[in-house]
A and B are shown apart, each in its own frame.
Chain A
């Protein structure tokens, strides 16, 4: 049994190991590398703890996946957490005074000295508990993809967003609405149907209303592009303000109905300047990753990911097949490999026609299946 001092020492080593892990992941410069090696050489306990921390880091991904709370809920709970604010020396105030000061500002106050004050907290004897004022409701979650790689995001309604490099979107699912704003770059969205709330996508001043579909939105300096792969998208009249500020009662007219294979080009004022009836979809989607990688995912989900690439659609027409879990890595632009893989599963039958590739279950005892 470890005593308190031992526990404190063990925790300190854990924290140091975690710090080195993060530093190592971010990339070490020469002085940091030397410092890290010296830290490891200091004690076998450091070596052991670091190796354990690497393992924990891997396990955390799995454990975090068990977390059922939505991101917005976690953010709200975090915002409601009472903050322990160390006071500056010479500014001794009762909690009541501190609270009044916080409320005196109309907006949430920033405490720029917190970071330094926290470091010095041990030296300061006086601390006051201040309940942080509830912030105005968060204006959605911003997702960014950096310059290095594209990014795939699964939303709680079952929608899947692919973000091109250097792109960002803001997602706000609240009050029976699903709003996604494309802030920069290009987004491909495969709209999920787990939510009955209407989904709208904002691109500058243009609002798109989706009716269950896969489409791509790109921002350009002079406006933007919308390419529909499947389903239908309505382009509404340009708005003067952002959707989360706009009056919901405000009537919006449909400017254009876009169908699969169509691309609309928007001007900077949000108006549709060009409509291509048969767009070269594959060129628009050239930025998507060349491979589809999935682990223990249902067949239906994997098919959806292939279909987002706009080739011959893979249609899973049997619930048992659709819910079968598979793992693998395939060339994204070649669904044939995926279909061939599906055919190796027992009892699977494949039929091709103009609609796409139908995957169904072979009826028991029947040699020819007419469906």
Chain B
């Protein structure tokens, strides 16, 4: 990290850090403390709905997490997010490889087109999938015209549609980091491997894949984390049986004023994700992520 330009031990770095770090402390760390505090509150005796007192009842966690509807929502969140991450990786890796190593002069154009969907509202893109996968959409009507599926067949709403939506929405997050790591690949390394009589597959496995691993790790995290907390896709492409934990947190917080339950679920989601992220990053051996 030491660069020739002005590495100094002075007050300057602290002055540079202060405002931004203070902002993160007040609007990221303190809210998490508030969330934890709220998760151990109990209803105010004789109070209105939405009124709670601070009783430090940690058994709230046991109560909430022993209810099957909430456990199911948590489980579905991780299952759907994991499925979407794996599918996105399978779609994104060849795409990133093609852009980095086969696109030639079209490379900037391809890159712009990968990020382009970001510029259309997330919710509208998801609604478009509802139209595409819906009963009158092109997918179902084509399958029906070919008599491959029965007339009452539908893709939306279903877990499949939710996973498809998640996969689609976070695909650029998977593609870009993999592209960035493959773009740095010196193609002479592959040629060298092939000169030494390794097959294309061996060359890929021993040279290309290890070099792209930091991109794969970053891409899977950037896909899995937002996907596991997302509830827009589950809401727009699913139904009551595809509820993810985000849906429950949203409903308990904003509709039912059941702050402790929502806080327990939100805090649990964060704890599990952080544990998974740190284990994954340690295993993948890319500690310096930031």
A binds B: no
Q: Which B residues have a C-beta under 8 Å from some C-beta of A?
A: none
Q: Which A residues have a C-beta under 8 Å from some C-beta of B?
A: none
